[in-house]
Structures are given as C-alpha cells and as structure tokens.
Structure 1
C-alpha cells in the first residue's frame, strides 16, 4: 500500500473552490451526476476568480 500524502493548503483551496462552483454556482448542478457538463472555459474562469488568480 502506498504512503498517504497530506494535501497542501493550495490543493485544499482548489478543492474548496471547485466544490463551490459545482454545488452553488453551476447552472447544471442538478444534471451532472458527478460528470461535469459545463463549459470548461467558464469553469476555469470562475475558478480563477474564486482563487484570486489574475490572467497573465
């Protein structure tokens, strides 16, 4: 069995932001059944916004 690695703070922030996107902001949240069907550009844009990332 492999060794368990504790997620970094950044990984936890990304996970929390993705959960907010999927559970609260996505218009398809009632239809995805665990498979994301939203526009990936929108998802990435919203994730960057939630994480305070700026475009380069």
Structure 2
C-alpha cells in the first residue's frame, strides 16, 4: 500500500552548521495534496537513546 501512496522520498545532505547534525527528509505523495517534511536532529536522538 505504501508504494501506491508515495511517489518519492528525498533525503537531503546533513547540515552541521549549528554544531550538531540535522538532516531534512521530504515525502512526496502521488496524489499531490501535500509534501511531508521532517528534520532529523542527532542531538535529540542521542538524548532519547541514552535515556532508554
């Protein structure tokens, strides 16, 4: 089902300008209603991982 709904996923190059690594991910849907954008932040991920 996912293959039918998603046209492409774009993963941008990581950005380290703020002192920690962030990476933008875009999900383009086939029905052209929206583009979902998420930012993966390594600093937030490391904190969650250490607490677990």
The alignment's TM-score, normalised by the length of structure 2, stands at 0.27
Q: Which has the larger radius of gyration?
A: 2
Structure having the larger proportion of residues in helix: 1
Structure having the larger proportion of residues in strand: 2
The alignment's TM-score, normalised by the length of structure 1, stands at 0.26
Structure number with greater CO (CA < 8 Å, separation at least 6) is 1
